[in-house]
Amino acid sequence: MSAFVALLESLATMAGARFASFVYVAQPSGPRLTVEVARHLLILGASTENLYRRDLETLDAIAPTLTGLQVAAAAKIRASRTESLDKGVGNNSAYTGADAYAPTAIKGVKVHLETGHLHVSGLTMRKDVIVKANYRTVKSKPETIARQEVEAMLPSAKFRQFRLDGVTVAKLNGDTLEVSTATDIPSLIASGVLSGATTTAV
């Protein structure tokens, strides 16, 4: 039995999962110069459609408070959310991930068809930073900053998706899906990544 099939069969027995707990290693990318290691706790089953509807409601509510470039940024976000809702989430012209995943019995958990990687999505509930990353200063365009400011005010800002490589164990603890990977705590300690690390809740 392939690891891909075994993972799907294992997840098929865990339909009761409401939360997911795992360690994620964020590799250097963009302004992040070094790895960040953190344990995440997500609320599974968040409906992207419902989040986008709530985004539109929030955009209406905050419209009187927006200034300058935020107004144009909000209009672009509104157009994108509206297109996604009209065409169906995942059919937005800017979305390129359609038909790439196999669903599982757990809402918010899917497996990439080509790589076999586990993708977990939901609303972030807790993030405990084990190893802090170093970041370089980024001088973003004013339009980019304005969009980021508006997006931070929206319900969908708490939505996250993670790709978990090398899953070794997926088990159900109560209503929490606990996922261990090849880069989980024991191997990170062995490799020295966690030497002298402190944990910070954010």
What's the angle, vertex CA 141, arms to CA 92 and CA 151, rounded to 5? Answer: 45
Q: What is the DSSP string of 9-25?
A: HHHTT-TT--EEEEEEE
Q: Report pTM.
A: 0.74
Q: Which of 88-92, 108-112, 174-178, 192-196 bottoms out in mean pLDDT, i.e. has the lowest?
A: 192-196
Residue with more model confidence, 56 or 35? 56
Higher pLDDT: 106 or 42? It is 42
Q: Average pLDDT of the chain?
A: 82
Q: Give residue 1's pLDDT.
A: 42
Q: Are 146 and 72 in contact (CB under 8 A)?
A: yes
Least confident of 8-17, 90-99, 110-119, 130-139: 90-99
AA identity, residue 41: L
For 67, 72, 100, 113, 177, the CA distances from 174, given in Å and listed in that order, are: 46, 45, 30, 28, 8
**What pLDDT does 8 receive?**
63
Local confidence band at 190 (pLDDT 50, 70, 90 cut-offs):
low
